[in-house]
Amino acid sequence: MAARSSDSRGVFYEAVRAVLGSWPVLQIAVENGFGGPHVQEKAQWMVGAVHEYFHTNSDLEQYEVEETLQGILNDEFDTVVEDGSLPMIAQQLCTLYSQCQHGDTSSVREKIAQLSQKKYNVKANVQEVRSAEDEEEESSSDEDDEAMECETSIPAPSTSAATSTAPSTSASGGHNGEPEEGEPEADGWTVVRRKKK
């Protein structure tokens, strides 16, 4: 019986590692260093902490597991889960723990194998998302540049009226060919000068 108990404990540890390792929120936090310079060690510690949490607390409810996971992510990785995955991860952990407690380690091992494959898929997806975001940033910065160029090259309606009056003003009474105070120049800017005493 003790051997079966230790075997199920080891299988559950691997299950926790697989569940957390395939969780996109945690993977993104780790890959982007949200937990600081020792983010990999924190991720490994989290597996052990969650494993111990289940074994030191009997009859855990899903909401308790959710709160614990959110607390760890917030405290250790400066991450708040807003994608709705937290309840699913907590439920998955509770289910796998229950299966291990009842000695159903074969189905837990199958789930671990599925999650291990999912982990690599998530990594590929994270990199695809990153490159797509980089392309979006580049195209949006190009669009911003184009938009600024367009804004500066299209004169405002009031500017065109001021441009046509500027030459007559400068010829009649401006100082050295400049428009009078308060009148717009040809580029649409209004020049304010200090009055001479």
Alpha-carbon gap, residue 72 to 96, rounded angstroms: 20
**Is residue 126 a part of any domain in this protein?**
yes
**Model pTM?**
0.59
- For the stretch 142-164, pLDDT in tens is 555 555 554 444 444 444 444 44
Question: Looking at the domain assignment, is residue 163 inside a domain?
Answer: no
Joined tokens for residue 104: 């159903």
Angle CA 43–120–37, to nearest 5: 30
**57 within domain boundaries:** yes
- Residue 143 within a domain: no
Distances (CA, A) of 192 to 34, 166, 185, 195: 51, 15, 11, 9
Residue whose entry in the numeric block shows the structure tokens 């010829």: 171
* 146: in domain: no
For 69-121, how does the pLDDT look when each residue is reduced to its tens digit (9 = 90+)?
999 999 999 989 889 999 999 999 999 999 999 989 889 999 989 888 866 55
Name the domain count of the chain. Answer: 1
